[in-house]
Amino acid sequence: MTGREMHDLVTRLYPLCRSITGDGVRRTLEIIQESIPLDVHEVPTGTQVLDWTVPKEWNIRDAFVRDPTGAKVIDFAESNLHVVGYSVPVSATMTLDELRPHLHTLPGQPDLIPYRTSYYAETWGFCLRHETLSALGPGPYEVRIDSTLADGHLTYGEHVVPGESADEVLVSCHVCHPSLANDNLAGVAVAVELARRIARANPRYTYRFLFAPGTIGAITWLARNRERAGRIRAGLVLACAGDGGPLTYKRSRRGNAEIDRAVEQVLRSSGRPHTIIGFSPYGYDERQFCSPGFDLGVGSLTRTPYGAYPEYHTSADDPGFVSPEAMADTLETCWEVLGVLERDRRYLNLSPYGEPQLGRRGLYGSLGGRSDTRDDQMAMLWVLNLSDGDHSVLDIAERSGLPFDLVADAAHALADAGLLKER
């Protein structure tokens, strides 16, 4: 039922008009709080955050364009994508020629409404289907945007699952897009369920889940958490988590951080169709966490990447575009990645002079029930040979070409037999 529950959350959040600030973000966090507790932070307009400044808060109540007959040809109540995000208030009557510079369509996808924003330049506009625009007469039109752009706050939420260690694993997703189910709500839903699952696992690491508006939210968090950022051992940015495409992992700036190696190990061993791409300073909030001053080991996990599917940033990215099965697969992939991080250890061989006799210790076949008995034995030999205190279980899995879980199980069995100690 997990996939269905995540899809239900996407469907419930979908109608809310989110932006980088405002009541849509607050309401989104309130709904998330029904599943997991959040620490909600309000950062005032004008606050300096690194090289940026927290902007004015935007809220909108209604917007429309009414033709000479009184019919609403564009109606915010139909879709919140109809209004350019952060549009300033407007109350005017104008001809189509006067209105036209403020109208945005997709001529190549004439039946879809595009998503557009103007966060940092005070302007206004409407988005509509190109087929609607083509049918408009000369006017005049009543144009109304009932919005406010005023001093307020930027809002973000955090959920922390304490672990045995103060070292942290970060899971981040953005909550700034309006009605877009894949880009961003599927990532939000996967993060919520992942947080619920890890809380039941008594984890080794502390897990920090960040629900923040894109770019400015991550920058604000980093500005307010410089010291804490140094404790982040690994991290994932989740987005585009519910479409039917294969998984795509974008490496961190480092390229070989523990998270990069863990994700690649899981994807390679699982047999899932997938793509691995290198780091680029364009994309989601991994580019903030991987900025050179922080250079955190944070990668990005999506299914089809941003901009690579025709529904991207359009009204076609609705709850019908994402599936419970795809979100469940993304969740399981994340869970397996966290399992690698949790189980990765360095061991020291306590019998390093020659190969210890495994048979008399009952270690051959000790991992019982496996069909890969030879691989089981090879995993033990690899672990014994490379457990010099410098090689981790992940190092051994990569070098041997064996699945991580098999190597981790072998290390655990050898430690139980007194042949290894954790370093």
Closest CA to 177 of 326, 65, 314: 314
Terminal CA-CA length for the chain: 40
225 with 165, same domain? yes
265 with 246, same domain? yes
The pTM of the whole model exceeds 0.85 = yes
Q: Is pLDDT above 70 for 11?
A: yes
326 with 304, same domain? yes
User: For 31-69, how does the pLDDT look when each residue is reduced to its tens digit (9 = 90+)?
Assistant: 999 999 999 999 999 999 999 999 999 999 999 999 999
Q: Is pLDDT above 90 for 368?
A: no
- Supply the CATH number for residue 92's domain: 3.50.30.90
User: For 292-314, how does the pLDDT look when each residue is reduced to its tens digit (9 = 90+)?
Assistant: 999 999 999 999 999 899 999 99
- Give dist(CA 235, CA 295) in Å, integer: 11
pLDDT of residue 334: 97
Which residue type is seen at 290?
Answer: C
pLDDT of residue 42: 98
45 with 161, same domain? yes
pLDDT of residue 365: 61
Contacts of 274 (CB under 8 A, 6+ apart): 246, 247, 248, 249, 267
Q: The domain containing residue 64 runs over which residues? A: 60-150
Q: Is pLDDT above 60 for 250?
A: yes
51 with 188, same domain? yes
- Supply the CATH number for residue 353's domain: 1.10.10.10
Q: Report the domain count for the chain.
A: 3
Binding residues for Zn(2+), as ranges, are: 177, 183, 313
- Give dist(CA 157, CA 145) in Å, integer: 29
195 with 79, same domain? no
219 with 301, same domain? yes
161 with 261, same domain? yes
Q: Is pLDDT above 70 for 370?
A: no
pLDDT of residue 329: 97
Confidence of residue 201 (pLDDT cuts 50, 70, 90): very high
pLDDT of residue 364: 67
Place of tokens 């190969």: 355
Q: Which of 109, 134, 150 is the last residue of a domain?
A: 150
pLDDT of residue 374: 78
pLDDT of residue 358: 82
163 with 145, same domain? no
Binding residues, as ranges, are: 177, 183, 313
Q: Which of 150, 169, 196 is the last residue of a domain?
A: 150
User: If DSSP codes are grouped into helix, strand and coil, which group holds residue 370?
Assistant: coil
Q: Is pLDDT above 60 for 272?
A: yes
266 with 362, same domain? no
Q: State the average pLDDT for the chain.
A: 94
pLDDT of residue 206: 97
- Give dist(CA 163, CA 123) in Å, integer: 47
Q: Which of 316, 343, 370 is the last residue of a domain?
A: 343
272 with 299, same domain? yes
129 with 183, same domain? no
- Supply the CATH number for residue 27's domain: 3.40.630.10
Give the range among 147-161, 237-251, 264-278, 357-371 with minimum mean pLDDT: 357-371
